[in-house]
A and B are shown apart, each in its own frame.
Chain A
Amino acid sequence: MPEQYTTVFGSLGQYEKGGVEVINDNPKHYAFSNMFEVASGAKPYEKVAVAKNLEYVLEVIRAEGTSEWRATPHDEFALVVDGSLEIELLDPTQPLVDQDASGSVGIDGEPAGSPMGRVQAGRGHMTLLPAGKAYRFHSDGVAVVLLQTIEGPDTVFRWADICQTV
């Protein structure tokens, strides 16, 4: 039989979840969740932590409609794991966030600055959100983003809701 493979990525509409089969342990020690399940139960642009290592986090974001502008003091990276997403980047006239801060902050209204450009990203595309700049997301449908960042003021933790407990 010739080799033929189907690569399974999963999506909001169709995903299967694995799990922890305990032999001598507590499943909570593995903080097992699923990005699509978390996005299914999230509000638009809520930043739900699915992984945490000291100050660093990975957040799942349900991108639906247009987000607020956010300013980040350090590089962040947005990986689209479902749907399509437009990312607008802006170079602010005045610093919008303390450069020693952690995580991005929301900005009221339209910040003053120069447009840097935009990225139209689909599934599997990873985009740099550069330090000291601002960004805004838009999705006509629903997209799911995994954000590599540092815990910030808007990071939401709800481990007991999203993780396997028994």
Chain B
Amino acid sequence: MTMTETAPNASGYKDFSVGGFTFSRDEYFVTVTWPTGSHQMDIVQWLRCVQRDVAWEFFYGIINFDEVIGTMNHYGNVDMFAGRFNEAYRRAEVDYNENFDHDELLGCFKAMLSDWTNEGYDPFAAPMETGSAYGTSQGDNDKAVTRKRVVAERMVSVPGDEPIRSDESGFPINRAFADVHQDEPVITAEPGYEDQVCSFSLYAYLSRSDVTWNPSVVSACKESLYCPTTEEFILPVIHGNDRVEWFVQLSDEIQWDVEDRDTGAKRARVVMKAGDVAAMPADIRHQGYAPKRSMLLVWENGSPRIPEMIANGEAPVRPVDF
């Protein structure tokens, strides 16, 4: 099975096919077809979703692009589905699922993102910070769509690990964080211990993030990963968990819609303000809304054993019992 692409259509965009799925775009929409159906989405929404799926390499669990289309990561291979987590599609038996090699689907998404993103549009940016994605094909923004997701091995700022951000390294302070203090901790290391006495300003680091809704690893305690991210406007994807996930709201406010992972039935709304901590159970899906750019610490357990542990009943669906 391989990806195929066509010559540009009337709007100047190529069609892409992988397995039973075909993707085509026009000035406003993406059209997805598969053997039992078809679906359309706003191209802005589509590009913002595909961008996250590519940057995260399918992340943990399920990435719903909307209530119909999405991917489910099996860590090495990945499902692309239509209607799989939609009760009406399931009942009508028109849902569709296809398994792909990780690199194959990723390759298709990367090619699509490159061809379909116009000059001046950045799918990682908040809507007020970028140009339009609509219209006929115009140039590209490969510089933006191929940004590397930061993954620190130990901690940002540790010698040899991910560096802190500065004006000089191309990360100016974001307009919404202009009031965030930029002072760094005062470090006094004894001779010979310079590479072990390490500290940095996480808040200053996040104030200089040029992406939204893109959790990146800043510290790792074995498989415990701090994945903070800056959030503005709407999380483009509806994230379906395959494990318990935790949020620590470091600044400002995000409101979350929480739904049943499999049916989409509403379960709760979670309002998080600065200092709040909340878990998301392993059987939900969620989408966040941030009216002002905020700092969110997403805390993940990156253990590859977890989905199997949950399937076998060895890992809890709920974070804690009390």
Chain B window 271-282, contacts with chain A (Cβ cutoff 8 Å), 1 for yes, 0 for no? 111111111110
Assess the A7–B180 pair: CB atoms within 8 A.
Answer: yes
Assess the A126–B199 pair: CB atoms within 8 A.
Answer: yes
CB contacts (< 8 Å) of A89 on chain B: these are 193, 196-197
Q: Which B281-322 residues have C-beta < 8 A from chain A?
A: 281, 292-293, 299-301, 303, 306, 315, 318-320, 322
CB contacts (< 8 Å) of A163 on chain B: these are 322
Stretch at the interface among B7-15, B38-46, B80-88, B183-191: B183-191
Assess the B267–A150 pair: CB atoms within 8 A.
Answer: no
CB contacts (< 8 Å) of B268 on chain A: these are 20-25, 27, 30
Total chain B interface residues with beta-carbon distance under 8 A:
77
Assess the B277–A119 pair: CB atoms within 8 A.
Answer: no
Q: How far is the CA of A95 from the CA of B255 in the complex (A)?
A: 46
Assess the A6–B218 pair: CB atoms within 8 A.
Answer: no
B147 contacts the other chain (CB 8 A): no
CB contacts (< 8 Å) of B279 on chain A: these are 29-32, 51
CB A78 to nearest CB in B, in angstroms, measures: 9
Chain A window 48-67, contacts with chain B (Cβ cutoff 8 Å), 1 for yes, 0 for no? 00111110101000000000
Assess the A51–B266 pair: CB atoms within 8 A.
Answer: no
A15-B274, A120-B185 known; A133 vs B315 contact (CB < 8 Å): no
Give which listed residue, A32, A114, A116, contacts B276 with CB less than 8 A: A32
**Which residue of B187, B222, B278, B301 has the most chain A CB atoms within 10 A of its CB atom?**
B278
Assess the B318–A126 pair: CB atoms within 8 A.
Answer: no
CB B186 to nearest CB in A, in angstroms, measures: 4
CB contacts (< 8 Å) of B198 on chain A: these are 127-128
CB contacts (< 8 Å) of B224 on chain A: these are 53, 56, 148-150
Nearest to B204 among chain A residues (CB) is A124
Assess the B315–A125 pair: CB atoms within 8 A.
Answer: no
**Which residue of A21, A36, A75, A126 has the most chain B CB atoms within 10 A of its CB atom?**
A126
Nearest to A27 among chain B residues (CB) is B268
Assess the B176–A5 pair: CB atoms within 8 A.
Answer: yes
Q: How far is the CA of A53 from the CA of B176 in the complex (A)?
A: 32
A108 contacts the other chain (CB 8 A): no
Q: How far is the CA of A53 from the CA of B299 in the complex (A)?
A: 9
CB contacts (< 8 Å) of B303 on chain A: these are 54
A123 contacts the other chain (CB 8 A): yes
B171 contacts the other chain (CB 8 A): no
Q: How far is the CA of A120 from the CA of B66 in the complex (A)?
A: 46
Assess the A117–B190 pair: CB atoms within 8 A.
Answer: yes
Assess the B193–A58 pair: CB atoms within 8 A.
Answer: no
CB contacts (< 8 Å) of A18 on chain B: these are 249, 253, 255, 270-273, 276
Q: How far is the CA of A149 from the CA of B255 in the complex (A)?
A: 27
A17-B275, A35-B248, A116-B193 known; A127 vs B185 contact (CB < 8 Å): yes
**Which residue of A33, A54, A116, A127 has the most chain B CB atoms within 10 A of its CB atom?**
A54
A16 contacts the other chain (CB 8 A): yes
Assess the B250–A30 pair: CB atoms within 8 A.
Answer: no
A34 contacts the other chain (CB 8 A): yes
Give which listed residue, A10, A23, A34, A133, contacts B267 with CB less than 8 A: A23
A117-B189, A117-B193, A126-B200 known; A9 vs B248 contact (CB < 8 Å): no
Q: How far is the CA of A116 from the CA of B196 in the complex (A)?
A: 8
A145 contacts the other chain (CB 8 A): no
Assess the B281–A29 pair: CB atoms within 8 A.
Answer: yes
Nearest to A53 among chain B residues (CB) is B301
User: Can you list 6 A-B pairs with a CB-CB distance of less than 8 A?
Assistant: A5-B175, A28-B318, A54-B315, A89-B197, A124-B202, A128-B155
Q: Which B residues fall within an 8 A CB radius of A?
A: 154-156, 158, 175-181, 183-190, 193, 196-204, 218-224, 226, 243-244, 246, 248-253, 255, 258, 265-281, 292-293, 299-301, 303, 306, 315, 318-320, 322
- Nearest 3 pairs between A and B by C-beta? A124-B203, A10-B274, A18-B271
Q: Which A residues fall within an 8 A CB radius of B?
A: 3, 5-10, 15-25, 27-37, 50-54, 56, 58, 74-77, 79, 81, 87, 89, 91, 114-128, 130, 133, 146, 148-150, 157, 159-160, 163
